[in-house]
Structure 1
Amino acid sequence: MVAVQGTFDELGTPLAEVTFVVFDLETTGGSAADNAITEIGAVKVRAGEILGDFGTLVDPGGPIPPFISVLTGITDAMVMAAPKIGEVLPAFLEFIRGAVLVAHNAPFDMGFLKAACAAHGYPPPANPVVDTADLARRLLSRDEVPNCKLSTLARVFRSSTEPCHRALADARATTDVLHALIERVGSFDVHTLEELKGFVRAPTPEQRRKRHLADGVPARPGVYVFEDERGEALYVGKSTNLRNRVRSYFTASETRPRVREMVGIAERVRTIVCATALEAEVRELRLIAAAKPRYNRRSRFPEKAVWLKLTTEVFPRLSIVREVKDDGAAYLGPFGSGRAAEDARAALHEAVPLRRCNDRLSPRRPTPACALHELGRCGAPCEGRETPEAYSEHVRAARAAMETDVRPVAAAVQTRIDRLSAELRYEEAAAERDRLAAFVRAAARMQRLVSLTRLPEFVAASPTFDGGWDIHVVRHGRLAAAGTMPRGAHPVPFVDALVATAETVVPGPGPTPAATAEETECVLRWLDTPGVRLVRLDEGWSQPVHGAERLRARIERAYASPGPRSPREGRPLR
């Protein structure tokens, strides 16, 4: 064997020679797609010495939500004279040039930074990134810290700056946390930038120790369930290749802290092989809803969805409920939160003068009218000023808006938006816009679901890579059977057999009578994939001509656009 002397470059960059820029962003919300930056703070350090800092407020181009102002202390008045992000971005990109970026929960800040760069024609920063939250999770145990929030770490490491949700102060606190973590990581023989990045990515001892759990997992599509020593489901997932997916949990590619924690608890992995990828996706949803594994965050509580109900009283009203009953009422939803349902109800009330009180009314027992009658927003059926026959016209209009035609609601809300904008009441106009968006999104979703769930049965197929076909039987929006027909097989007997052995589905009430909305949406996404063909369809499949889907597409484009987002800068819903 010939010995070869390595170069200094192969040794890596000592941490003492690395220039770090520790930065923090304050924003108007949690999603970079729908929100904007309000403040940037950054500290440049090398070898423990501060080389400079960068701090500025940023005009987000729209109102700051009140709860954000309460959290950060940044108000609309403070950012009114501040530069916009397009003016600040070049200077900040120059400040971070050649440095390693550091942030606490870096994906959040990097997401907003990349979105700003994309919106103004700059390439995304190529700087290496260190996440102090990830580093803290690797270095600190639960005995030392209850969590890895910045405020907690700053207190534990006795930072000279207290985090307060202001960008520069939080960046300075994160700098102190970074230095403390670098001191700790030295005990793991981590002395270079390359070793630091590898240390964060390396699998944990628990991951290495549990690799045997992936032995014997088949390379087939299906569902996998991580279970603890008592057989309780910890986490449920799906994959088109179970073997590769389960193995990935025990490698450096799995960096999610919660999942790494779950792997340390797991004692076995149970797999359920499925005929098709769609069957695997549906079975995953059903298992999560049934077992409610504590390490799954999504789809655990479909029963907590809320609906907007047009009641069946003598004088019906709009009520927010959690249960769909077989009572002849009209339902709109499901909504992910009560706030979204409230917004949709407000939009519908803008177009249709339904009563807003919760009392049970009777033509025989009149009660005094409220102020809404004086404002012209209600016909006062409580006081006998509106007969049940006259009121039923409002009920028919509301039901039509929910089920077939959203144009009256869109027109009424847009009229109010225009009036508020003309009066310079921009925040109120933006709130009306958001209410219309909530109504249209819910109506579009429900109309799309109903178009499928009202079909007693249909059969569809999609081509496989080996020349066969994935075939599915769907009844009232519920996946009833799945199978893969090999290449060259005759389709008729195969489809007949699959239909004959499919699950019997008895529909219940409401827009989703046989499955959760998520399951039916899985089927709809599969039907939209290229190459899918309808094999059998007993009834017509259609959506309302004046339904919400077309308006929903315009609304989503308006919200996703990097351009004007508030009524004072334009009218994006037109």
Structure 2
Amino acid sequence: MTSTAALPAPRWEEQRSFDELGRALRDVTFCVVDLETTGGSVGDGDRITEIGAVKVRGGEVLGEFQTLVNPHTAIPAFIAVLTGITNRMVADAPSIRSALPAFLEFAAGSVLVAHNARFDVGFLRHFAQEQDLVWPDFEVLDTVKLARHVVSRDEAPNHKLSSLARVFRASTTPNHRALEDARATVDVLHGLMERLGGLGVHTLEELQGYNARVASASRRKRHLADTLPHAPGVYLFRDERERVLYVGTSRDLRRRVRSYFTASEKRTRIGQMVQLAASVTGIECATPLEAEVRELRLIAEHKPPYNRRSRHPEKVTWLKLTREPWPRLSLVKRVLDDDADYVGPFSSRASAESSLAALHEVFPIRQCNERFGRKPSRSRCALAEMDRCLAPCDGSVDEQSYGAVVRQLQDTLLRRPDDVVDLVQARMSALAEQERFEEAAHHRDRLADFIRGSARTQRLAALTGCPEVVAARREDDGRWAVHVVRHGRLAAAGVIPSGADALTWVDSLRLTAETVLPALGPTPAATAEETERILRWLEAPGVRLVDVVGEWTCPVQGAARHVTLTTLAP
């Protein structure tokens, strides 16, 4: 356990002096903290393995704190790969009972800062409560929340610490070790302060309550919301040439659209969109779920420039197990009527390629793209020489033996991925013990991509295989919302009127619902995102199934059993 003083290292420029209300940022002591843990949830019994913190004031580092923590439980291989912290490293480290009081003493009197503070502070508070320690009345600042108001998607693809560290040219590269990540967070904090200082944010109170400003010209457009109803639905911002700029959804159209013209709107890009907007169209929907689905369909149709997500549902990749004399795996853009097995859709080709690599590690089927007859006579490839391919090309394997491997692969893809999970995890553990963390990380990422894709396929196919599912839920206003889903597509939505006969009304809704003719694959009638939205609603508390046509089932030993592994991959 170490706690060291540091020489002054100013990182952000002191603001010009003036009479200020509140506490000037240059006078506030911040304690920037980062934790490493055995997992992502303290509620699941996960423990702290490392604490790192940096105390700063006025852009100067006042001191640092770092200690490994013995979690008194095995560190999972995924975590060891991610952090580089192994069971051997923490064997002689202090327990949280001695480490936490030392940290609280170090942080006393400061404002706690963390990147995703809910995670770090949540763990610290939990173990303080477990030890009957009085939790100090810390003020907390979250650099993730602050960055969302300041750093646009044009500058960084997301607001992860690694992305922000590059934006603000942090002197320390985040590497999933507590002290290094805390140092990087200090640089991100100072970078955010520098940027906000130019916008008039000079006190802690202003920093905590910062909202992106809205130009007066935008405020004058509040009347664009006046004709919209207080009802759930979809809204479309349009420019002077009627081009759709942005599509959104809300439970209260008028209130939500009016918020775009006030200081409660924090997104920089959306502020730019509002300045271009000349009109707003509202589409009232019977239920919030119908509004969400309509939003997805309208975004795919209009591809608005200010919507970041869902604009290109057609740009997906599928993993295909071909049907030919010597089957192989390939990546394709669409599902064909060829009796092949498909997994996906994957949202990026990179994740599909990663899944393909995970499968090729386990199943030595051919990786070449050539078409073979039943009795090929070709020379062996390099993969065959390395025993990574059964080499049907030169007759090294017969159809029966090759077919047995293909059937095992098919079972892994569609029903039971345990063979891949067990083998890849064993390799990861072996590499982690040898401290070959970078190689192990490649295996971890491949496994996570495969599990995500396989679980998604099984989850989607379970619902889309049903010709019709009718479900209802009592809404907050006491009325029953009813949805008719056909092959994973929302075919009808409505709310049972007060006093109406429920069964008669539902039968009428089914009769007037959209006719859905399924196509091919796990998403035969809607985008994967639409079906997943519907699934989330169907699985929500209080939903009652009125009728199910067909069988809505998932494999008992399917990929969903392993989906928690994917939360530990970046």
TM-score range, shorter chain: 0.7 to 0.9
Partner of 2:5: none
The CA deviation string for residues 198-229 of structure 1, in whole angstroms up to 9 with x for no partner, is 56466543442322222122111111122222
- SS of residue in 2 equivalent to 1:302: coil
Q: Cα offset for 1:471?
A: 1.6
Distance in 2 between the 1:378 and 1:83 partners? 46
Aligned partner (choices 345, 349, 353) of residue 356 of structure 2: 345
Partner of 1:114: 121
Q: Cα offset for 1:447?
A: 1.1
1:54 counterpart = 2:35: no
Partner of 1:526: 537
Distance in 1 between the 2:108 and 2:489 partners? 54
Distance in 2 between the 1:547 and 1:444 partners? 7
Distance in 2 between the 1:136 and 1:484 partners? 36
- SS of residue in 1 equivalent to 2:358: helix
Aligned partner (choices 261, 269, 277) of residue 266 of structure 1: 277
1:278 counterpart = 2:289: yes
Partner of 1:459: 470
| 1:24–1:276 Cα change, 3 Å | same
Q: Which runs of 5+ in 1 are unaligned?
A: 1-10, 69-73, 143-147, 155-160, 566-574
Distance in 1 between the 2:519 and 2:552 partners? 20
1:127 counterpart = 2:127: no
Distance in 1 between the 2:387 and 2:66 partners? 48
Partner of 1:432: 443
Alignment of 1:45-444 (within 5 A): 45=57, 50=60, 52-54=62-64, 94-100=105-111, 108=115, 110=117, 113-114=120-121, 117=124, 121=128, 126-127=138-139, 129=141, 184=198, 193-194=204-205, 200=211, 203-417=214-428, 420=431, 427-444=438-455
Partner of 2:3: none
1:44 counterpart = 2:44: no
| 1:59–1:317 Cα change, 3 Å | farther
| 1:96–1:234 Cα change, 3 Å | farther
Q: Cα offset for 1:441?
A: 2.6
| 1:177–1:304 Cα change, 3 Å | closer
Partner of 1:479: 490
- SS of residue in 1 equivalent to 2:314: helix
Q: Which moves more between the two structures, 167-176 or 261-270? A: 167-176
Q: Which amino acid aligns with 2:562?
A: R
Contact 2:24 2:203 in 1 (8 A): yes
The CA deviation string for residues 368-421 of structure 1, in whole angstroms up to 9 with x for no partner, is 112433444322101122234442332222222211232333344445456556
Give RMSD over aligned pairs: 4.6
Contact 1:369 1:383 in 2 (8 A): yes
Contact 1:441 1:552 in 2 (8 A): no
Contact 1:25 1:37 in 2 (8 A): no
Distance in 2 between the 1:112 and 1:40 partners? 14
Q: Which runs of 5+ in 2 are unaligned?
A: 1-19, 130-134, 155-162, 175-179
Distance in 1 between the 2:565 and 2:528 partners? 22
Q: Cα offset for 1:472?
A: 1.5
Distance in 1 between the 2:353 and 2:506 partners? 45
TM-score (norm 1): 0.74
Q: Which amino acid aligns with 2:62?
A: G
Contact 1:405 1:548 in 2 (8 A): yes
The CA deviation string for residues 493-552 of structure 1, in whole angstroms up to 9 with x for no partner, is 322322222212121111111101111111111111233222232322222233222x22
Distance in 2 between the 1:486 and 1:76 partners? 59
Q: Cα offset for 1:465?
A: 3.9
Distance in 2 between the 1:422 and 1:193 partners? 45
Q: Cα offset for 1:445?
A: 1.7
TM-score (norm 2): 0.75
1:552 counterpart = 2:562: yes
Q: Which amino acid aligns with 1:21?
A: F
1:13 counterpart = 2:16: no
Q: Which moves more between the two structures, 370-379 or 92-101? A: 92-101
How much identity, in percent, do the aligned residues show? 43
Partner of 2:481: 470
| 1:131–1:261 Cα change, 3 Å | farther
1:543 counterpart = 2:554: yes
| 1:426–1:509 Cα change, 3 Å | same
State the structure with bigger RCO (CA 8 A, min sep 6), 1 or 2.
2
Q: Which moves more between the two structures, 129-138 or 215-224? A: 129-138
Contact 1:13 1:192 in 2 (8 A): yes
